[in-house]
């Protein structure tokens, strides 16, 4: 499957919510919209064309190492060139730091689970050069955090869909009996096609741990991408990324529901205005990165 996803990473200045340090970090300024042909895996995440794209969703403070979704760092008007830069950390490791920051700051296990799963997906987005060891560690971390989150009865949200995700994580970890038991618990409230749940349970039964790409039909059913935004002319336009384009829709909604603002339009426009004074950005597409590496 040919992936035509384009994205654009820019530098921006932000303020650390923990220690108030101002620093420059990469952020995902643009990502082409999801279409039925976008690669989406059965654990309900859109495969991004480069780990840098997902890593740009989190920021790490160079002063106190606090790491969290970039949207929780307020933008600052300083030109990114003039402030210290975020530490250079390997893309997927930023998510491990974020899980640690979450534990230190008392964030809920579900918030940490979302970050752990993004770390897992980021580790996989290295493609052929993905480290099996790193992927396995993130699978275990995702299991720990998501299992802890689901053990807490106090929160509301699409618990059935998270049960499905935990089942998928168990399957990929080779814990087939647990996976099958969890797939059995997934009900209609998950809002997932029965076909998908049965397909993944069948793979667990066959003791198959491999990640699975969804068919365009399943992508259509689960994500219902808007037809008009699949047109190349709009893909080329530089527009701010919406959380649903970068994150998986359900997870993005969950973050919003949990009070973690994902980059809002008005905020993003402010950033764009500030950056007009300092047009330092790098246009990155999957093709240029493949050529460079």
Binding site for Zn ion (CB under 5 A): 16, 18-19, 21, 61, 63-64, 66
Give the pair of three-digit tokens for residue 126. Answer: 């290295």
Q: Output the smallest distance, CB 103 to Zn ion, in A.
A: 16
Question: How many angstroms separate the first and last alpha carbons of the chain?
Answer: 21
**What is d(CA 222, CA 216) in angstroms, rounded to the nearest whole number?**
10
Q: Which is nearer to Zn ion, 19 or 234 (CB)?
A: 19
Assign residue 88 a region (left: φ > 0; alpha: ψ between -120 and 50; beta: otherwise): beta
Q: How would you classify the pairing of strands 58-60 and 281-282? A: unpaired
Q: Output the smallest distance, CB 88 to Zn ion, in A.
A: 16
**How far is the CA of 230 from the CAs of 5, 35, 202, in angstroms?**
10, 6, 33
Q: Which is nearer to Zn ion, 59 or 113 (CB)?
A: 59
Q: Which is nearer to Zn ion, 64 or 82 (CB)?
A: 64
Q: Which is nearer to Zn ion, 64 or 202 (CB)?
A: 64
Question: What number of residues does the chain have?
Answer: 293
- Contact between 190 and 160 under an 8 Å Cβ cutoff? The reply is yes
Q: Which is nearer to Zn ion, 64 or 234 (CB)?
A: 64
Residue 139, Cβ neighbours under 10 Å: how many? 24
Q: Output the smallest distance, CB 16 to Zn ion, in A.
A: 3
Q: Which is nearer to Zn ion, 19 or 82 (CB)?
A: 19
Q: Output the smallest distance, CB 63 to Zn ion, in A.
A: 4
Q: Output the smallest distance, CB 216 to Zn ion, in A.
A: 43
Q: Output the smallest distance, CB 62 to Zn ion, in A.
A: 8
Q: Output the smallest distance, CB 86 to Zn ion, in A.
A: 10
- Contact between 158 and 191 under an 8 Å Cβ cutoff? The reply is yes
With vertex at residue 63, the alpha carbon angle to CA 122 and CA 260, rounded to the nearest 5 degrees, is: 50
| Beta bridge partner(s), residue 12 | 25
- Contact between 86 and 65 under an 8 Å Cβ cutoff? The reply is no
Q: Which is nearer to Zn ion, 18 or 131 (CB)?
A: 18
């Amino acid at each position: 499957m040919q992936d035509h996803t384009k994205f654009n990473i820019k530098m921006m200045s932000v303020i650390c919510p923990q220690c108030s340090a101002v620093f420059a970090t990469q952020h995902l300024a643009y990502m082409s919209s999801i279409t039925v042909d976008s690669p989406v895996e059965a654990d309900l995440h859109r495969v991004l064309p480069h780990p840098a794209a997902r890593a740009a969703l989190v920021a790490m403070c160079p002063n106190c190492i606090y790491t969290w979704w970039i949207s929780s760092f307020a933008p600052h008007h300083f030109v990114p060139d003039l402030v210290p830069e975020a530490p250079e950390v390997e893309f997927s490791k930023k998510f491990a730091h974020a899980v640690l920051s979450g534990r230190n700051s008392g964030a809920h296990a579900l918030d940490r689970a979302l970050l752990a799963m993004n770390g897992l997906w980021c580790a996989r987005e290295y493609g052929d050069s993905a480290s099996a060891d790193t992927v396995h560690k993130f699978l275990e971390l995702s299991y720990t955090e998501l299992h802890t989150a689901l053990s807490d009865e106090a929160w509301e949200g699409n618990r059935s869909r998270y049960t499905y995700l935990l089942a998928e994580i168990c399957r990929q970890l080779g814990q087939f009996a647990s996976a099958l038991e969890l797939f059995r618990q997934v009900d209609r409230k998950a809002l997932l096609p029965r076909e998908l749940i049965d397909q993944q349970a069948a793979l667990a039964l066959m003791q198959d741990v491999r990640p699975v790409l969804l068919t365009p039909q399943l992508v259509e059913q689960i994500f219902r991408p808007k037809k008009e935004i699949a047109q190349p002319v709009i893909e080329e336009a530089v527009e701010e990324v919406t959380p649903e384009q970068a994150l998986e829709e359900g997870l993005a909604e969950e973050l919003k529901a949990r009070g973690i603002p994902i980059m809002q339009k008005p905020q993003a426009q402010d950033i764009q205005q500030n950056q007009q004074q300092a047009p330092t950005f790098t246009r990155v597409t999957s093709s240029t990165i493949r050529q460079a590496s």
